[in-house]
Structure 1
Amino acid sequence: MTSAKEQPRKRFLALDTATVTLGVAVTESGRVVHEINASGERNHSVHLLPIIGEALQRSGGAEMLKGITVGIGPGSYTGTRIAVTAAKSLAWSWKLPVVGVSTLQALAWGGWNAGAGSPEDAAGLGARPGEGFGPDWIVPLLDARRGQAYTALFAAQGGEAPRRLASDRVRLMADWVGALAERIEAAKAQGECPRRLWFVGETAVHGGAESLKPLEGAAELRAQPYELEGRWIGFLGEARHASGDTDDVHSLIPNYTQLAEAEANLLKAGKGGVKSR
């Protein structure tokens, strides 16, 4: 009988095109085998397959893969579809399981790791017993224009994936900041107020002092500009693959969180519609 230590390692391909960065990674047991992150949102459709080919060539080939992970958004409407379509096509062609994971959760994990990994934060990755603080909170941000952002809320989990506290949605930032202030007050009453509140990702538009002014004094505010790296999509996917919680290759769809502008305009003009389900 083969012992647990002798079990073959499982290698996975991860990809995401929901942000300005095209991220492709090959991961294995929580480590990066090879990773390529390329900027240039408008060229994702041109570069994705060649980059996947390069990543596989440098990591042993597709025959070593045990599954595929894809970021399903929310984020760029067109960009998200590119990765999801590619992941489904490859999974079907190679007869591999596929899982979709939240782009925002990966963004939160990677952005927080980038910020909290700095020397001044090395001792503050989580609350210490008796201090009256809960884990750091992480707010991923992707600009959705018109004062809105694709965002969510997570609690830092040390070396593990951030724990979700609020769903992935497109939100008006002014309202979202107010809602976060209320959540912090409620957490204070339970002795679980976060020591730090991290805003990570596309922080230039929504992570400035003026935008976050209602949160002054509620917690230590940190803004961490960050572009998504494919490894965090891969690490999220490894956990789902390990549990057997895979997606159906035909029904996996992007998480748009809202209608694309063109669809919304058609709907307003009475020329289109959406089916509820």
Structure 2
Amino acid sequence: MANLLIIDTATESCSVALKYDDQVYTRSEIAPRMHGELVLPMVEAVLAEAGIKLTQLDAIAYGQGPGAFTGIRICISVVQGLAFGADLPVIGISSLQALAQGLYQDKKQARVLAAIDARMGEVYWGQYEVDANGLMKLLDQERVCSPEFVTISDPDTSIVYSAVGTGWSTYAKVLSETLNVPTVIHDKPLYPFAEYMIPMAEYLYISGESYAAELAVPVYLRDDVAKKAKDL
């Protein structure tokens, strides 16, 4: 087992989770454009509730995106600062994977179509299926596209897919018509809360897949945003 701090600010939600000695402590708030003010006090709050210091942890995990450009940058900056100060490795987790994991955790849905509203008439899209370890694994690849161009791997009309995320709440009709497979749309979770990243983060840490803080990178999916980031 691993003792982990997880931070996510990639969407409208700002959330922090701490797993220590098999206890989980969480803070979250739906507060667009306030992540920079909220995230560090949330970190301090969960550490205080657990009665520990950051240096007592094994690693820090973070929501790497896709999501809001500014939110992802805030998350990376905060995580790198904390990790450098405490000499801890880091672990990146997909926002889409966290959404799928949350639906499995809350409702035991094994086949999930996760979509986050990417604005500009597009969605961030990923298809997931639970594996033998109870973790959501990506099928095909994550991408950003118009809802009219989403696809799924090996579509099967004999099974019911579970749909989740703000992309579905915004483009439910178009997505359903485009895919043309049996789909149940779940209204929760809407966001990739940090607590949903705990199983993946722990698995990756135990598997030796954590890395140095300076290697933490965002996942934007949009080429134009990535190019702008490189120019900063």
Q: TM-score range by the shorter chain?
A: 0.7 to 0.9
> Partner letter of residue 196 of structure 2?
W
The Cα shift of 1:157 comes to 3.3
Aligned mates of 1:165, 1:18 — CA distance in 2: 22
What secondary structure is seen at the aligned counterpart in 2 of 1:183? coil
Q: 8 Å contact 1:15–1:233 — kept in the other structure?
A: no
Shift of 1:166: 2.3
Residue 98 and residue 210 in structure 1: after superposition, are their counterparts in 2 closer, same or farther (change >3 A)? Answer: closer
Normalised by the size of structure 2, how large is the TM-score? 0.87
How many aligned residue pairs are there?
227
Separation in structure 2 between the aligned mates of residue 194 and residue 43 of structure 1, nearest angstrom: 44
For the Cα contact (< 8 Å) 1:110–1:232, is it kept in 2? yes
1:153 is matched with 127
Q: 1:194 to 1:44 in 2, by over 3 A?
A: farther
Q: 2:209 aligns with which of 245, 251, 258?
A: 245
What is the Cα deviation at residue 42 of structure 1? 0.6
Kindly indicate whether the alpha-carbon contact (under 8 Å) linking 1:100 and 1:247 is maintained by their aligned counterparts in 2: no
Distance apart, 1:87 and its partner CA: 0.8
User: Of 124, 139, 142, which aligns to 1:165?
Assistant: 139
Residue in structure 1 matched with residue 60 of structure 2 by the alignment: 68
What is the deviation of 1:90?
Answer: 0.7
Q: Helix, strand or coil: the match of 2:219?
A: coil
Partner of 1:267: none
User: In structure 2, what residue type is equivalent to 1:198?
Assistant: S
Structure 1 gap ranges (5+): 1-8, 118-124, 126-135, 265-271
**2:72 is matched by which residue type in structure 1?**
T
What's the CA shift for 1:152? 1.0
Partner residue of 1:223 out of 176, 185, 200 = 185
Structure with greater Cα Rg: 1
Secondary structure at 1:82's aligned position in 2?
A: helix
Q: Distance in 2 between matches of 1:32 and 1:150?
A: 32
SS of match in other structure, 1:113: helix
- Between the aligned partners of 2:158 and 2:47, the Cα distance in structure 1 is 41
Q: Is 2:118 the partner of 1:144?
A: yes
Coordinate RMSD, CA, aligned? 2.5
**Percent identity between the two aligned chains:** 24
Residue 10 of structure 1, CA deviation: 3.1
